[in-house]
Amino acid sequence: MSFEYDPNGNLANLIYEQEAKGQGDSRRPHLGCSQVGRECAREVWYGFRWAGQVVWEGRMLRLFDRGQREEEVLVKALRSIGCEVWEEDSNGKQFRVEFGDGHLSGSVDGVARGVPGAPKTPHLLEFKTHNDRSYKDLLKKGVAESKPQHMVQMQMYMCGLKLKRALYVAVNKNDDSIYTERIEYDPALAKEHISRGLDIIASERPPPGISTRPDWYKCKFCNFKGQCHSGVPLSMNCRTCENVEVKFGGEWECKLSGDKLSLEEQKKGCKEWKSV
């Protein structure tokens, strides 16, 4: 039996290209709790201020989609062992948390009860997928040391939902192994990072970065390496403009006109734009 092999991956590349064409706008209206635990405050600020449009290649978008699909699988698995799982709040919407002035928020995977070890205690649910190396590091070190960003995310969620426990469920994408860890609420850690997130939001200028070297390993793959190290100008929009002010309630206001700016207006900017 013969077969035709595509050594140049032409068909796969067509699929990747199509995936890339369908990606949406990467600019979030808010600062997500999932970002606050990143080591570099400047990277977080650049993302919140829309310093550049992040464009992913098709293969990476497929990886992200795999992570989303895994959530449904894991919810089904938890229910199969007798856990009650809620994916929506009492209003029929995805669980969300919001802090301070409305600019800092996040969406929660779900809440479960009946978790072995503490069956009567409601647990925040956090689902993640990992490659093999990341998964093995998680097995060796646990969430707090291996994935501090995920730990911060869960602590902020527990604070917002007033929960005392979280269940972290990780899947190895190489062999479908499952890792679980029950996490205790740490109010000090949660409040520290809520304050950090609000400080980043309130900052009118980029905070200090973690390195001045563009070739440093933690900077090499940053989405905003160009803006931080190589003089790439910030994208022109209201959030990167010197004339904008962050306001209470998740709003942005133009200092020149006094107008509240809609999301679409923020993205467009205007002829008076002046980079921060």
What is the 8-class DSSP label of residue 275?
B
Residues 77 and 183 placed together within one structural domain of the fold: yes
Query: Confidence band (pLDDT; 50, 70, 90) for 165?
Result: very high
Residues 67 and 183 placed together within one structural domain of the fold: yes
What is the pLDDT at residue 152?
98
Structure confidence by residue, pLDDT tens digits, 93-146: 999 999 988 899 999 999 999 999 999 999 999 999 999 999 999 999 999 999
Query: DSSP per residue over 148-168, as a string?
Result: HHHHHHHHHHHHHHT-SEEEE
Residues 255 and 159 placed together within one structural domain of the fold: no
Residues 177 and 92 placed together within one structural domain of the fold: yes
Residue 2 pLDDT exceeds 70:
no
Residues 84 and 133 placed together within one structural domain of the fold: yes
What is the 8-class DSSP label of residue 235?
P
Report the distance separating Cα 218 and Cα 228, nearest Å: 13
Residues 82 and 151 placed together within one structural domain of the fold: yes
Q: Structurally, how many domains does the chain consist of?
A: 2
Minimal CA–CA distance to 51: which of 250, 271, 202, 234?
A: 234
Report the distance separating Cα 71 and Cα 125, nearest Å: 10
Query: Confidence band (pLDDT; 50, 70, 90) for 3?
Result: low
What is the pLDDT at residue 55?
84
Residue 151 pLDDT exceeds 80:
yes
Note whether residue 251 is domain-resident: yes
Sort strands 31-32 and 104-107 into parallel, antiparallel or unpaired: parallel
Residues 174 and 253 placed together within one structural domain of the fold: no
Residues 84 and 175 placed together within one structural domain of the fold: yes
Note whether residue 71 is domain-resident: yes
The rounded mean pLDDT for the chain is 94
What is the pLDDT at residue 10?
81
Minimal CA–CA distance to 263: which of 237, 240, 245?
A: 237
Note whether residue 10 is domain-resident: no
What is the pLDDT at residue 100?
82
Which structural domain range is residue 264 located in? Answer: 236-276
Give strand pairing partners of 119: none
Contacts of 71 (CB under 8 A, 6+ apart): 109, 127
Structure confidence by residue, pLDDT tens digits, 217-262: 999 999 999 999 999 999 999 999 999 999 988 999 999 999 999 9
Report the distance separating Cα 158 and Cα 129, nearest Å: 21
Structure confidence by residue, pLDDT tens digits, 202-219: 999 999 999 999 999 999
Mean pLDDT of 52-72: 90
Residues 255 and 148 placed together within one structural domain of the fold: no
Residue 4 pLDDT exceeds 80:
no
Residues 89 and 185 placed together within one structural domain of the fold: yes
Cα 230 to its chain centre, rounded Å, is 25
What is the pLDDT at residue 9?
67
Which CATH number characterizes residue 100's domain? 3.90.320.10
What is the pLDDT at residue 22?
82
Residues 187 and 257 placed together within one structural domain of the fold: no
Which CATH number characterizes residue 251's domain? 2.20.70
Structure confidence by residue, pLDDT tens digits, 179-206: 999 999 999 999 999 999 999 999 999 9
